[in-house]
Structure 1
Amino acid sequence: MTDNEPICHYRYDLDALARHVSAVVAALPPRCRMFYAMKANSAPPLLRTLAPIVAGFEVASGGELAKASAAGARQTLFGGPAKTPAEISQSLRQGVSRLHAESVLELHRISDAAQRSGRTARVLLRVNLSGGFPPATLAMAGRPTQFGIEEAALGEAVRTALELPGIRFAGFHLHSLSNNLSAAAHLELLELYRRKICGWEAEFGLRCEAVDVGGGIGVNYADGGEAFDWTAFTAGLTRLVRTFPRHWKDIDFECGRFLVAGCGSYFTEVLDVKHNHGVNYVLVRGGTHHFRLPASWQHSHPFVVHPVDRWPTRLPRPELAGQAVTVVGELCTPKDVLARDVVVDRVRPGDVLEFRLAGAYGWEISHHDFLSHPHPEQLFHSRESPAPARESPAPARESPAPAREFRAPDASPRRRE
């Protein structure tokens, strides 16, 4: 142990990411395409790894659109419930493949921007269905949310999309659930989408070129929990797609979490262990300002303890063994909790915890500057590029001394950028 900063960083395995996403894409049946939902993680090295594998990126802001362009995205889909006029104009200038409209007013904004730019905007209507969905962690439709056009008001939106100049109606976008773990339930959801869209085509005299079925395929964060069965899902999808009308040329998925969660881990050093009012606490360098996902989703995030034997002999070293612990961060709030009531073999100050499945919605959704603690390093490793890589996740700021190097037992070579 030295006087350098405690260990605290994200580490991403770009090779594992490429293998996983390549297998996901290869299993899709004809007409089905996979887009990456950038909101899950927009780190440039991840985007550059994904760009040649997926059909393109789904973005939800002008900033994400700029990152997608810089990463070499082959196609870009622009969604989001509150696009500004400037973002709509930017998307048309940059040649997005489609915009997903979420209201009648937004259709008018798209039309205005298209006419001013002399372009035609290819548009899908995002619909907030009335319900009938399988259970999932988070519902995006079937209840009051800010997303999409209420199904009962779809007629006005369709008429508007067909009448406004500068707009080419291309189909519908349906994204109703998030973090669904059941392949069978997700197939039922797509069958519901098929029935709904076929009904709208008949009702409004339409023919859709494209149908976007959103994302929502989940990751199980419970230790030992069953993962979404992509093999079973794509086998059922192959049969289901045969029942889709042939004029639906593109059936698009836009997954984020399912593609990138497994490629990243959050490593953080234990600063202290103590007992307080009947609870064993493990206090770490970091917390929800770096990794907000556990607090956001109210779950206990899976982790492993990497023992570190170095320790200054002049300091006491408390430890907990074979007991349940609650892992908390360095923030001045009792809500800064990463895991609760997890039994560990042994944990001591100086050991390093690795929170796995941290590649999605970790750093991106965190309140980085609360209490002005240093940001974690972002490390990217790949066997194809032996030089280590570090990227700053935020604008330049005063940094502490470099953290001590720590290498997990299964870590492969890193590269710096």
Structure 2
Amino acid sequence: MSLQHLRNYLEGRTQSRTQPICAYLYDLVHLRARADSLRQSLPPQCKLFYAIKANSDEPVLKALAGHVDGFEVASLGEIHRARAVDDSIPIVFGGPGKSDAELEGALDQRIMLTHVESEHQLRRLDWIARSRNQVADILLRVNPAFVPQQATLRMGGQATQFGIDETQIPALFELIPTLPGIRLKGLHIHAISNNLDACTHLALMQHYFDLAEAWQRRYGLAFDWLNVGGGIGVNYANPNAPFDWNSFCAGLSALIAARQPRFQIVFECGRFLAADCGYYMSEVTDIKTSYNKHFAILRGGSHHFRLPVSWQHNHPFMVLARDSWPYPFSRPAVHDAPVTLCGELCTPKDTLARDVHVERLRAGDCVVFLLAGAYGWHISHHDFLSHPHPERVFLDNY
């Protein structure tokens, strides 16, 4: 979305004392183009799935259907969202806490692969599938003993609620042939999140290959799939230095050529695919100074856009000036100084960027937070304090 599109939206809204601007804007044209570009860069042996937890809005899912190889879901509700958009698109089902109702729903909705996260989950799925005269295709989710990278979040290489310890996997290889409701199709290994370095992510892929190939040799297995998760990051601190996807794909092509794995490789990207299609726009309702520090109060905040508070970072933004001013008295402003951008909630944690320099910011101007298309609205506590929800605008075919 261009700056002009943002300005067009802003100019289309008349200034109001009582209804300050607060909106999410999503660029569906860019989203489709990005999905096509990422998918086309991958080696032919790889598939690109969209992790819908990042943004599960129906217009987003409709925009991506046909531009990704499938959807990754983590609940029965997400299964229904995906099926409402496309009755036949491949779906893979993750999550550590699947209920019996969710496992039954996965079988009802023809889920391509269920990612099994414990022996108990495995046995329950087998019991349910046999009671229905069905067989469930599964991947075992592995928590590897060693993860060679650091990242913002770690789901593997340490004690977590995710997956099955690497040391426990061989026992499940022995168990699965005795479970007639289960068909093992491969492994799911998703150990880190928001990695920004292409070289270290490639090393992670090599480690995943090592584990899969060693187990195939030792146990006489032939995996069809290796799901390597998502984990590819978005650089909120410096949006001009993104993860080098093209370099990563070139390295992955060389790795596949050298190793000749027979399994197909699934990426389930959410943040990396959708973040830069979305913008969160919020009007400044007040500028104030407290003990020599400047604060801008926004219409909105972490109840709409929780990501900056959750990750404890200053979210990237830009200022869109609005010259009209409806009041008969002076306009609060801050010039060439650091300011903290706060929301309207009754908590000091409602901060989206702290001590960030602005050339000029005035009450009535709008702040536009970039990279807000993933894990923004969808992870936020919308009804805390019962403030109005933001407008949500999906731009397509402009």
TM-score under structure 1 length normalisation: 0.90
Matches within 5 A, 1:315-394: 315-383=329-397
> How many residues in Structure 1 have an aligned counterpart in Structure 2?
383
Aligned residues of 2:188 and 2:227 also touching (Cα < 8 A): yes
TM-superposition CA deviations, 1:14-50 (whole Å, max 9, x none)? 0011111100001111110000001100010000010
Question: In the TM superposition, what is the alpha-carbon distance from 1:204 to its structure 2 partner?
Answer: 2.3
Cα distance between partner residues in 2 of 1:201 and 1:43: 39
How far residue 331 of structure 1 moved from its aligned partner, in angstroms, is 0.5
Tell me what 1:407 maps to. none
1:153 to 160, 168, 181: 168
Contact map agreement 1:14 1:380 (CA 8 A) in 2: yes
Report what 1:136 is aligned to: 151
Following the alignment from structure 1 to structure 2, what is the Cα–Cα distance between the partners of residues 173 and 193? Answer: 9
Letter in 1 for 2:112: S
Q: Distance in 2 between matches of 1:8 and 1:177?
A: 33
Matches within 5 A, 1:221-260: 221-248=236-263, 250-260=264-274
CA contact (8 A) 1:104 1:160 kept: no
Distance (Å, rounded) in 1 between the aligned partners of 2:175 and 2:50: 29
- Name the CA distance, whole Å, in 1 between partners of 2:246 and 2:149: 20
The structure with the largest helix share of the pair is 2
Change (3 A) 1:224 1:11: closer
For residues 300-319 of structure 1, the aligned pairs below 5 Å read: 300-319=314-333
Determine if contact 1:35/1:253 at 8 Å carries over to the other structure.
yes
Aligned residue in 2 for 1:210:
225
Contact 1:93 1:117 in 2 (8 A): no
Write the letter of the residue equivalent to 2:47: R
- Which residue of 1 is the match for residue 305 of structure 2? 291
Paired residues for 1:153-232 under 5 Å: 153-232=168-247
Instruction: Identify which of 27, 37, 47 aligns with 1:23.
Output: 37
SS of residue in 1 equivalent to 2:172:
helix
1:143 Cα deviation from its structure 2 partner: 1.1
Q: Deviations over 1:62-101 (max 9, x none)?
A: 0000000011161000110100000000010110000000
| Per-residue deviation, 1:312 | 1.9
- Cα distance in 1, alignment partners of residues 370 and 209 from structure 2: 36
Quote the offset at 1:225 in angstroms. Answer: 4.7
Match of 1:399 in 2: none
SS of 1:215's equivalent?
coil
Q: Which runs of 5+ in 1 are unaligned?
A: 384-412
Shift of 1:132: 3.2
Do residues 98 (structure 1) and 152 (structure 2) align? no
1:188-226 per-residue CA deviation (whole Å, 9 max, x = no partner) reads 000011111111112222111111011000100014551
C-alpha RMSD over aligned residues:
1.2
8 Å CA contact 1:107–1:160 kept in 2: the answer is no
Q: Which runs of 5+ in 2 are unaligned?
A: 1-14
1:354 maps to a residue whose letter is V
CA-CA distance at 1:162 after TM superposition:
2.7
Q: Which residue of 2 aligns with 1:396?
A: none
- Please report how far the alpha carbon of residue 152 of structure 1 lies from its aligned counterpart in structure 2 after TM superposition: 1.4
Give me the whole-angstrom Cα distance separating, in 2, the residues matched to 1:195 and 1:357. 34
Instruction: Quote the sequence identity (%).
Output: 48
* Aligned AA (1:101): V
* Distance apart, 1:153 and its partner CA: 1.2
1:36 to 44, 50, 68: 50
Residue aligning to 1:386 = none
**Deviation of the 1:135 alpha carbon:** 1.8
Report deviation, 1:186: 0.7
| CA-to-aligned-CA distance 1:126-151 (integer Å, 9 cap, x gap) | 00011232121111101111100011
- Deviation, 1:4, is 4.1
Task: Report the Cα distance in structure 2 between the residues aligned to 1:162 and 1:281, rounded to whole angstroms.
Answer: 63
Deviation of 1:3 after TM superposition, in Å, equals 3.6
Partner SS for 1:380: strand
Could you say what secondary structure the match of 1:364 adopts?
helix
